[in-house]
Amino acid sequence: MYAAINLLQLRGHIRSIEEAGSAMRTLVAHIVREGNLELVLTKGVYRSDLNGFFSELKHNSKKLNRPSTRQIEHHAKDGAVIFFESEDRTFDHYTVIRIKEGTERVELFDSYGFREIHLSDGRWFVDNQPISILNLYYLEC
């Protein structure tokens, strides 16, 4: 839920804490209607749910499976959500990425305690831990 709202904020579709709160209430109501609120709050959402969140908030999005580096860098220019897991599979996470202002470098927009994402020798790392980017979501605007 947070990644969807954070991407909408990055893209300028959410401009205030009140608008973010309204979006959160809309998503919680959607989950209550369509899913399992307790599971979402304790375990998170399954990857297929993110497009449903954007749809519920009246935005069209697309999902890429196993996006290439070129696709990641391209969509980060406007902001995108990635879903990644550590190579040892001890954690997975949704986060919003963008291109760092004045550079061509991908950076984290909502870090959830992580400091950085970077590419080295064709592999992605978060805080120097190798990751696999499983999905990328971007808005069609």
Query: What are the tens digits of pLDDT across the range 22-38?
Result: 999 999 888 888 777 77
Selected residue with higher pLDDT from 9 and 87? 9
Please indicate whether residue 31 or residue 13 has the higher confidence score (pLDDT). Answer: 13
Q: What is the mean pLDDT of residues 30-55?
A: 75
Interatomic CA distance for residues 73 and 105, integer angstroms: 8
Q: Which of 115, 114, 97 is nearest to 106 (CA)?
A: 97
C-beta atoms surrounding 40 within 10 Å? 17
Confidence of residue 113 (pLDDT cuts 50, 70, 90): confident
